[in-house]
């Protein structure tokens, strides 16, 4: 997680649709500061678990999502 005391700015995935909040959020502003990308379930924004992955791992997840037949 970031080493700053600034609040994390979460962004909803562009694949998210209006389906009752079943979305993934990520914090892209953290990547330049920490080299890591936090990811969370938007339904658990009140302090639920956060998965933190490296920038290269996140790029791999995005590539996989783009190649999948969604």
pLDDT in tens, 12-58: 877 666 656 568 888 999 889 899 999 998 887 777 899 999 999 99
Q: What is the pLDDT of residue 43?
A: 81
- The pLDDT confidence band at residue 1, using thresholds 50, 70 and 90, is very low
* Residue 2 pLDDT greater than 50, yes or no: no
pTM listed for this prediction: 0.72
Q: What is the pLDDT of residue 18?
A: 63
Q: In the β-sheet with 50-54, what is the strand arrangement from edge to edge?
A: 11-12, 24-26, 36-41, 50-54
* Residue 5 pLDDT greater than 50, yes or no: yes
Separation of alpha carbons 30 and 28, rounded Å: 5
């Amino acid at each position: 997680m970031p080493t700053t005391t600034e609040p994390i700015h979460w962004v909803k995935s562009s694949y998210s649709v209006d389906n009752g909040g079943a979305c993934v959020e990520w914090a892209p502003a953290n990547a330049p500061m920490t080299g890591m990308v936090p990811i969370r379930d938007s339904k658990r924004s009140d302090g639920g678990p956060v998965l933190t992955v490296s920038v290269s791992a996140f790029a791999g997840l995005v590539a996989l999502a783009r190649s999948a037949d969604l």
